[in-house]
Amino acid sequence: MRLFVLVTMVVTVWASYEEEHGGTTYHETSKPVEIPIYKKYAIPIPHPVPVPVPQQIKVPIPQPYQIQVPVPHPVPVEVIKHVEIPIEKPEPYVVEKKVPYVVEKPYPVTVEKHFPVPVPKPYPVHVPVYKHVFHHKSSGHGWKH
């Protein structure tokens, strides 16, 4: 029931709105439009066709001819080849031989060598003395040290 009352109210409000504003000015019309249809036709297009042309290609072949200087065959070619030859080095070894005479042993000798040791000399260093600092101990004028 309530829905029916709501629908009727909406319809009456809509109708009164159209009467006051003169209704709607919108209307639909239909007009047929011709659409062209294009068809594809296969048209042969001439293409160039390769045609063989008979021709003779001459390649010059070198021919031997006489020269004034005789060339020996085969031509001698100098070949330089470095060959490494391993050289065997003799290794030293100890040979013990008996000596027929007595060898005197050397007597002990002491050698004293004196090396001077440089002693660095003192150099003067600047020590700032501030006048407002007392460098002596006061005899105690009420101050506790």
Asked if residue 129 has pLDDT above 80, the reply is no
Q: Tokens at residue 55, please?
A: 């021709």
At 139, the pLDDT band (50, 70, 90 cuts) reads low
Q: How many CB atoms lie within 10 A of CB 116?
A: 5
% pLDDT > 90, the chain: 1
pLDDT digits (tens, 9 = 90+) for 98-125: 878 777 777 778 889 888 888 888 888 8
C-alpha–C-alpha distance, residues 17 and 10, integer Å = 11
Contact 107, 115 (CB under 8 A): no
User: Do the beta carbons of residue 18 and residue 25 sit within 8 Å?
Assistant: no
Can you give the pLDDT at residue 54?
Answer: 84
